[in-house]
Amino acid sequence: MQQRLNSLYRLFLLILLVAVVSRPHAAPVDDVIYMAEVNYAEWAFVSSQISCELKHEIPGFGVARFLQIAGEKFHFLIDSYQPVPRKGSAEMWEISPSWEPGTPDPLVQTLQIEPGLRPVLLQRQPASWLLASLAKGQIGSIGFTDWDDKRKQVQLRLSPVNFQRPYLEFRKCLKALPEKGFADYRYSEVRFALNLHDLDASAKALLKELADYLNRDERVKSVRIEGHADDQGRRKYNLKLSERRAMAVKAYLVEQGVEQARLATFHYGESRPKVRSRSQKARAKNRRVAILLSK
């Protein structure tokens, strides 16, 4: 009896083994690749007086942009059509296109995919690597695990087709871009002599440079002009003096072409000293107009 049970058990194991071996393997899951077809790939160069940009649509996913704004760091970003649900890690590498075989750069860059409508944001170094990759005719690819199916990998590929001409315009734009930007102009200060509200040569030079910037950067929505005085003299007089100083700055900016609607003046007399001291050096710093920019 025991021998018969052992034989049946061995037969069961054999049938089970045959069933497992002969079972067909699950079909491989294809990656999800987003890339413009050769006949439809386009790059667009867009510029303003303070920015240079290269734009490229990744069909079905979003828009890729290389962007340089005056006074800021060069970067690359992708704005997606649909929000990415969660954060994840990703890799970026080169792929040689079939029509132009070559040796891709073996370097693999790592990055983070962020949730929301801007999943990819690369700072200067990886952005420059990606731009150089496209310039030599390679496909830039960013790959990460699909958030809906972990068996799949999503690949965002930047086509080098029709890249060279807008890239040359982009490079010319970068050379002509001003070095200073919003961070350099967001706070300025004009100093005044005792009891005066007239602008001297150095104040006019500073304000002319500021006006040139304001006339270029439409992102600046408002300019707050604050007049101040030191603590010498009567308070009422100092209040009026600080008003005249603020109005003198406003008038000069308008004269240089800045729209009045963007300018708002305030005056505080001696109530808001920059330096709380009665020394002559401190008082000189308190006789001022502060100019604050807001986007």
pLDDT along the chain (295 residues), means of 10: 48 39 45 94 96 98 98 97 94 89 82 96 96 95 92 95 97 95 96 96 98 96 98 96 98 98 97 94 97 97
Write the CATH number for 210. 3.30.1330.60
- Are 174 and 68 in contact by the 8 Å Cβ rule? The answer is yes
Does residue 4 form part of some domain? no
- Are 230 and 274 in contact by the 8 Å Cβ rule? The answer is no
Q: Supply the pLDDT for residue 22.
A: 37
Does residue 8 form part of some domain? no
Last residue of a domain, one of 144, 176, 208: 176
What is d(CA 244, CA 197) in angstroms, rounded to the nearest whole number? 6
The reply to whether 169 and 190 lie within a common domain is: no
Q: Supply the pLDDT for residue 24.
A: 38
Q: Supply the pLDDT for residue 118.
A: 97
The reply to whether 191 and 130 lie within a common domain is: no
How many folded domains does the chain comprise?
A: 2
The reply to whether 148 and 121 lie within a common domain is: yes
The reply to whether 116 and 157 lie within a common domain is: yes
What is d(CA 188, CA 219) in angstroms, rounded to the nearest whole number? 17
Q: Supply the pLDDT for residue 112.
A: 95
Q: Supply the pLDDT for residue 106.
A: 85
The reply to whether 169 and 129 lie within a common domain is: yes
Does residue 87 form part of some domain? yes
The reply to whether 145 and 196 lie within a common domain is: no
Query: Between the CA of residue 4 and those of 8, 9, 11, 14, 235, what are the distances in Å?
Result: 6, 9, 11, 15, 114
What is the DSSP code (8-state) at residue 162?
T
Question: What burial class does residue 246 get, using C-beta atoms within 10 Å of its C-beta: 0-12 exposed, 13-18 middle, 19+ buried?
Answer: buried
Number of C-beta neighbours around residue 40 at 10 A:
11
The reply to whether 121 and 254 lie within a common domain is: no
Beta bridge partners of 121: 77
The reply to whether 115 and 216 lie within a common domain is: no
- Are 122 and 139 in contact by the 8 Å Cβ rule? The answer is no
Q: For residue 227, give the nearest of 286, 175, 278 by alpha carbon.
A: 286
Does residue 191 form part of some domain? yes
Does residue 105 form part of some domain? yes
| Residue found under tokens 């006949």 | 39
What is d(CA 137, CA 122) in angstroms, rounded to the nearest whole number? 20
The reply to whether 64 and 138 lie within a common domain is: yes
pTM of this prediction? 0.80
Q: For residue 284, give the nearest of 213, 216, 189 by alpha carbon.
A: 189
Write the CATH number for 137. 2.60.40.2540
Query: Could you give the 3-state DSSP secondary structure of residue 84?
Result: strand
Q: Supply the pLDDT for residue 4.
A: 52
The reply to whether 112 and 228 lie within a common domain is: no
Does residue 95 form part of some domain? yes
Does residue 21 form part of some domain? no
- Are 273 and 226 in contact by the 8 Å Cβ rule? The answer is no
Residues 6+ apart with CB under 8 A from 190: 199, 203, 206, 207, 245, 249, 288, 289, 291
Last residue of a domain, one of 176, 194, 211: 176
Query: Domain range holding 211?
Result: 182-294
52: which 2 tokens? 């240079």
The reply to whether 171 and 219 lie within a common domain is: no
Question: What burial class does residue 30 get, using C-beta atoms within 10 Å of its C-beta: 0-12 exposed, 13-18 middle, 19+ buried?
Answer: exposed
The reply to whether 195 and 225 lie within a common domain is: yes
Q: Supply the pLDDT for residue 31.
A: 86
Last residue of a domain, one of 176, 209, 233: 176
Does residue 11 form part of some domain? no
Q: For residue 159, give the nearest of 34, 30, 32 by alpha carbon.
A: 34
What is the DSSP code (8-state) at residue 59?
T
